[in-house]
Amino acid sequence: MDIYHTIIRPIITEKSTRQTQRHTKRHGGAYSFEVHGEASKAQIREAVEKVYGVKVVDVRTSIKHARVRRNRYGFIAGAHTKKAVVVLDKDSHIDLF
């Protein structure tokens, strides 16, 4: 899988914006991305490091299953999405805005 197809888009919410500003002694901020459903943690780490030019410390992933909703023709489900939270080194930073 190509590194430019691994990361779909950054997730910009109030919670993710607050996580980018958190810093500890060893870790920098945490950034959230929507990623390809079949991407592994190693592929996500490589893609973020090459696209944004930063040092990644940790990658956490979760799969958000689609909600089943009812419409006038029956039930319909959306698509599953995969979210990755990438923790950067204390000296690294990504400018998303």
Cβ-proximal residues to 63 (8 Å cutoff; 6+ apart), any chain? 37, 80, 81, 82, 83
Q: What are the two backbone dihedrals, phi and then psi, of residue 5, each rounded to the nearest 5 degrees?
A: -100, -10
| Predicted TM-score (pTM) of this structure | 0.86
Given this structure, which CATH class describes domain 3-89? alpha beta
Taking only the tens of pLDDT, the chain with its 97 residues reads: 888 999 999 999 999 889 888 877 778 889 999 999 999 999 999 999 999 999 999 999 999 998 999 999 999 988 899 999 999 998 888 987 6
Can you spell out the DSSP letters for 68-95? Answer: EEEETTEEEE---EEEEEEEEETT----
The domain limits of the chain are 3-89
| DSSP state, residue 25 | S
SS3 call for 16: helix
